[in-house]
Amino acid sequence: MKEVNDKVLDEMIVPTPHEAYLENLTPRVAERLLDAIKSQAMKDYINALSVLKYTPKDEKALDTKQECEALFGDAGKLKTVQTKVKYDGGMFEVICMENFPEYWGEMLPTKEDSLKCPICKEGRIGRYFRPIDPVKPRKKESEDPRVIFSCDVCTYKYVSHPGGWSDEVMKKTQESLKRIAVRERNVLCSQEIREILKEHPEYTQQQIDEVYRKVADKWKV
């Protein structure tokens, strides 16, 4: 009986020839597959950079960063991706600074009023609070209470150490970060304009004016 069953199973399981995959791999399918790979690589790259920002020697994040950069390099998009992360990451931090809580534990709006992530354009920014744990040994990374902003999709994050959780401390930190955010908006806007114009010296005055308009609108300055 066992021999019969084994024979039936062998007859039922027929490996698909490799030619069949190639026959079904139309240009449209290949394009969509490549887009999916690039999209996932972008999310992995953003996540790795976020980890390395606070833990520079994280081996897994370093490996992911190198693999993604190799993929983007082969596709001729490494410079574009690095520029995007540089300025979209800057926008992420500006948004977080502008939405620093006035008091400890204050949560962000949800649903349609929530903050959209400027990096992945898919997720929403949330924040949570991490006070000092008196039970655990005091380590360098947990000396101060922390307010952590994080995207729920690409997981990019911004961490702030207010130095205390009293309403007075939170209010002072909020006011300070809002002033920094205004300055950062202007600085990053100017940098992005210069970088775009440097890459396109052939632009006419009309195109240059359009660059100024679009980037200034993006940064709301």
Tell me the per-residue pLDDT of 118-130, one tens digit each, with 9 for 90 and over: 998 889 999 999 8
CB 177 within 8 A of CB 97: yes
Q: Is the pLDDT of residue 12 over 80?
A: no
Q: What is the mean pLDDT of residues 93-115?
A: 92
Distance CA 47, CA 42 (A): 9
Q: Is the pLDDT of residue 4 over 60?
A: no
CB atoms within 10 A of CB 20: 10
Q: Is the pLDDT of residue 185 over 60?
A: yes
Exposure string over 117-146, b if 16+ CB within 10 A, otherwise e: bbbbeebbbebeeeeeeeeeeeeeeeebbb
Q: Is the pLDDT of residue 93 over 60?
A: yes
| pLDDT score at 110 | 84
Q: Residue written as tokens 């205004």? A: 182
| pLDDT score at 54 | 87
Domain boundaries, the chain: 20-76
> Residue 30 corresponds to which amino acid?
A
Of 37 and 211, the structure prediction assigns the larger pLDDT to 211
CA atoms within 13 A on the CB side of 174: 14
